[in-house]
Structure 1
Amino acid sequence: MLPTFLRRLSLGLALCLSGSPLLAQTWPGDEWASQPAAETPALKALESYAFAPRDESGERKGIRTDALLVIRDGVVVYERYAGPTTAQTPHLLWSISKSVFSTALGVAFGEGRFRLDDPVAKYYPAFAAHPSVKMGHLLNWASGLAWEEDYEYAPLKSSVVAMLYTRGREDMAAFTAAQPLAELPGAHFHYSSGDSMVLAAALRGMVDEQAYADYPWHALFEPLGIRSAVFERDAAGNFIAASYAYLSARDLARIGLLMQRDGRWGERQVLPAAWVQFVRTPFANYQPGVQERGAVPGAQWWLNASLPGAQKPWKDVPEDTFAALGHWGQALYVLPSEKLVVVRFADDRDGSYSHNELLKRVQAAFAGEQP
């Protein structure tokens, strides 16, 4: 058998002779290739929007960006942090955790561990009271369970606050499973962190305990070279897929590049391309304007899709753009047609931040250029 490096050399020559597009793509190894873009008026305009100056007391007001990282065609072209966040900081992702966990779940799908039309109770027996809820319903936030996804504005009636911090915190999936059905599963989109927690419990029913504890690392983080990942678990042992993953900006960008390139990482198809297509397909029964969270729901990801009777949510951004979004301005944006991946960590509090405005300025600074 040929040594590994000779096998890779042979493959590289074969790709060269075949004219394969693999040869032209840049992939990060232990570190990303970096070629910082030149400082231009467009770049200054982006920075002035993303990084508001501090006042005399050192306090940030308005848009409060902690990190902004731009990857163009697999190469870092821009990176800036606002202390105390640094390039090494595993930043709390909030609801980006949902998209990260669903990406790991996509690996399980590719391994044949479940189908979208499987009843959730097949993998999570505590869900037996809801036999009509399918795995696909949970992925589309369409379980039909009664749920209130309110934080600061209605904490006393909030299902998610109760799940994360009070009576549901010991076993978050069981807390969700105990909620009654409010409507037919799959009939309507209804954003729910509880749906994401039940997905975490369902994966646990597909694999043994040791495999579950290692699964996000074995399935996703290690193949992509991600080393900063932290994923909290509740007292019952389930990953808190709704909210509590942590990654550095550069490591989160690896997941964005994986999704931009249809689930492929170098020579390996980590995710089935069909899974990426599913993630990027608008939920069929979504009604524009109903509980819209600044984008169109896909499968635990958010889309800039135009739908009948409604324009795309981010008017200046390509329609194929999709994103993982989290509380207080966390974002992972993927712009396939522009070959861009953008990571933004933040501490926004006043609602002044605009996805469209940031991405419009990113495009002005970086789209169409070649490293």
Structure 2
Amino acid sequence: MPNLLRALAFASCLLSGHAHGADTWPEADWPRGATPSGAAVEAFERYAFPDRDDASRKGVRTDAVVVIRDGQLIYERYAGPTSAQTPHLAWSMSKSVMASVLGVAFGEGRFQLDDPVARHYAPFAGHRDISMRHLLNWASGLAWQEDYEYAPVRSSVVAMLYTRGRDDMAKFTADFPLDAVPGQRFRYSSGDSNVLSATLRQMVGEQAYPDYPWTALFQPLGIQSAVWERDASGTFVGSSYAYMTARDMARIGLLMQRGGRWKDRQLLPQAWLQFVLAPFPNYKPQAEKSGEAVPGGQWWLNRAVAGAPAPWPDAPENTFAALGHWGQAMYVMPDQKLIIVRYADDRDGAYQHDAFLKLARTAFAGAEVQP
């Protein structure tokens, strides 16, 4: 209960800290702010953009960084094949994007957190104890193995995306048995996320579903670059396969940083923000995995929970993020009014969230600026 109360306090501060009339918003493009310069920015660039080794794919390999401060674009840089116009694969950042789409549906009254998933997705009829809340917290209790290319034979997610499950990813997930009580154990699962995408399909109907992420979220935010792959059954691959430019991804960050509000429209209800930015109540940090972010509702949090310190000590504790495979990240720092989108092609674990955030915070939250 203390963790929940503290989480609600964080969310309340986030939701109440904006004066509507004073905010700057992007239109077709982002308004430009003063560009930071100096030693702090140089130190950030040495870490984020070292000489790129495309032959071995070793080391930190950043494709893009976009920094928004108080609604203005103050920094961007690109590397590799990526440019400002490139819709970059978001990998598991897609989960946080889908959570935002679902947040709009939640505000429209299409579902409640404690609804059984089976109410919105018929193949879950055999899992009536699993709720929408459980899926959003990656706590379904399904016997899922989220291993990647390092353990492909036993990997549930590799099978879902590329082999046995690719034709209908949500149905593939529904066929897994339980090996834990729903809601009691965190287990990161791309399958849970794809079932959420399938529930949205039933909620909004077959006619509206193909356009719903655009009509509900992308168009109101002015996002024009979004591409979202669907599996062979027609369900969006909510776990993995959204693409958009770094500038457009930052619009979702601004929506979240400003408490779900876009200009004069409250797109995401406050109750939704309070849920997705609260730690999963039964999360138990593991000492051997220090530095791993705390799970919220398809978002990742920099929170001190269950006696463990915040995973990113050099960032404010109310920092939260969308994270994806191979170094994809969008960090939101409400206190600094900062949004940082990073696209990447990291392959060897050299990149560290906290090191990046420490340098970015120094460079962009209070660095010298030039007109």
Query: TM-score scaled by structure 2?
Result: 0.92
- Mapped to 2, the partners of 1:38 and 1:330 lie a distance apart of 23
- Mapped to 2, the partners of 1:156 and 1:61 lie a distance apart of 24
- Mapped to 2, the partners of 1:123 and 1:59 lie a distance apart of 46
**1:52 and 1:60 in contact (8 A); partners too:** no
User: 1:22-171 counterparts in 2 under 5 A?
Assistant: 22-54=20-52, 61-171=58-168
- Mapped to 2, the partners of 1:61 and 1:124 lie a distance apart of 42
**1:338 and 1:368 in contact (8 A); partners too:** no
Secondary structure at the residue paired with 2:127?
coil
Structure 2, unmatched stretches of 5+, are 1-17
Q: Determine the structure 2 residue equivalent to 1:230.
A: 227
Residues 287-296 or 77-86, more deviating: 287-296
How many equivalent pairs are there? 351
**2:114 and 2:133 in contact (8 A); partners too:** yes
- Structure 1 residue 346 corresponds to structure 2 residue 338: no
**1:26 and 1:74 in contact (8 A); partners too:** yes
- Structure 1 residue 202 corresponds to structure 2 residue 199: yes
Aligned-residue offset at 1:84: 1.0
Secondary structure at the residue paired with 1:170?
coil
Which AA in structure 1 matches 2:136? Answer: L
**Residues 19-47 of structure 1, C-alpha deviation per residue, up to 9 Å, x if partnerless?**
x9222211001100112423210000000
Q: Determine the structure 2 residue equivalent to 1:336.
A: 334
Q: Determine the structure 2 residue equivalent to 1:270.
A: 267
- Structure 1 residue 279 corresponds to structure 2 residue 285: no
- Picking from 187, 192, 200, the partner of 2:189 is 192
Structure 1, unmatched stretches of 5+, are 1-19
Structure showing greater radius of gyration is 1
Which AA in structure 2 matches 1:358? Answer: F
Distance 1:271 1:369, change over 3 A: farther
- Mapped to 2, the partners of 1:216 and 1:139 lie a distance apart of 17
- Mapped to 1, the partners of 2:237 and 2:257 lie a distance apart of 25
- Mapped to 2, the partners of 1:167 and 1:221 lie a distance apart of 31
- Mapped to 1, the partners of 2:92 and 2:123 lie a distance apart of 24
Q: Return the structure number with greater relative CO, CA threshold 8 A, min gap 6.
A: 2
- Mapped to 2, the partners of 1:234 and 1:100 lie a distance apart of 17
Q: Determine the structure 1 residue equivalent to 2:4.
A: none
Identity %: 64
Q: Determine the structure 2 residue equivalent to 1:218.
A: 215
**1:34 and 1:75 in contact (8 A); partners too:** yes
Q: Determine the structure 2 residue equivalent to 1:289.
A: 286
Residues 282-291 or 186-195, more deviating: 282-291
Aligned-residue offset at 1:277: 1.4
Query: TM-score scaled by structure 1?
Result: 0.92
**1:53 and 1:60 in contact (8 A); partners too:** no
Distance 1:258 1:370, change over 3 A: farther
Secondary structure at the residue paired with 2:207?
helix
